[in-house]
Amino acid sequence: MAAPRPTVLPEVDGYRVEGVLGRGGSGVVYRVTDRRLGRSVALKLLDDDGDPEGRERFRIEAQAAARIIHPNVVQVFGVGEHEGRPYIVMELVDGLPVYDVLRARGPLGPEAVAEIGAQVAEGLAAAAAVGVLHRDVKPHNLLITDAGVVKLADFGLAKLVNGPSGLTQDGTTMGTPHYMSPEQGQGQPLDHRSDQYALGATLYHLLTGAPPFHDDNAVALLLKHAQASLPPVLQRNPACPEALAQAVERMLAKAPDDRFEDFEAVIGWLGGESGISRPERIGIQGGSNGGLLMGATLVQHPELAKAVVSFVGIYDMLRVE
């Protein structure tokens, strides 16, 4: 049984712990100041649950994420141990989870979706370049900062393509079924095209207001990803430009070989080949169109203000109901 979570702030060597950012199934995320560098960062401290495999998975998460240095990925600065409990130190991001935007405002405009998709693809390309798969791409794990930068967070299910097996091995189904590729749902070997499928499912959700498939039973949902015909984007959102709909549907092809060859191809398509103009900046402001508006500063709309959070590990903090 897991030890009770602390009611007082821990004293971690080298860091001044200032407050709790969130609590999840595996630990607590704190806002801290690095005493040596004088900068604010986020520190995720794993619960002492007596689970060596969980601690090892946490260490692998840190190692995988630390290999990726890119503006569209939440950066990992270090890892350590406090009273026998591992922790990871990460970039502190003030941003709005895309899932919260979607839940509050409805489907997003095609220009915003193309821009979000291209930025996330940039981050995933950087991950693929160092042999890392994210394995849990979804709207919950995407942040939009007030500068219009989209950041991919929570590499908690990350896998090193050529890394050690055992903890996140092929044959183990981990991830979020609404966005999971057929091969991941079936426990098959994965490559970057599995993350591409999850990104496609995410963009489909942003465009239409719902994931590609739904079922209350997780196994049945995974079978739909593998076997059911994809409802066309234009059927659910007739206003979506046809080229963008085709790109998203190609990312959601059942067979990996039928998807885009790599993330560079995805970026190229979303960045111009689709005919959709990517805005210079994305942000949020009040309005009646129910979507992201271009060129706007991020404003704390009343219904979204509570969702503006300093974020690390959004999957732990904001689970699907």
The Cα–Cα gap between 298 and 286 comes to: 10
Q: Which residues contact 93 (CB under 8 A, 6 or more apart)?
A: 42, 74, 143, 145, 151, 153, 310, 311, 312
The Cα–Cα gap between 317 and 211 comes to: 20
Tokens representing 279 are 């805005």
126 SS3 class: helix
294 φ, ψ (degrees, to nearest 5): -85, 150
For the CA atoms of the chain, what is the radius of gyration? 19
Catalytic residue among 48, 136, 195, 316: 136
Could you tell me how many residues make up the chain? Answer: 321
Q: How many Cβ atoms from other residues are within 10 Å of residue 70's Cβ? A: 17
Tokens representing 282 are 């994305």
The Cα–Cα gap between 321 and 315 comes to: 12
Task: Please say if 136 is a catalytic residue.
Answer: yes
Residue type, 9: L
The Cα–Cα gap between 106 and 127 comes to: 30
Residue type, 118: A
Residue with tokens 């508006």: 293
Contact 301, 287 (CB under 8 A): no
Indicate the pairing of strand 142-145 with strand 85-91. unpaired
Q: How many Cβ atoms from other residues are within 10 Å of residue 56's Cβ? A: 14
Residues known to be catalytic: 136
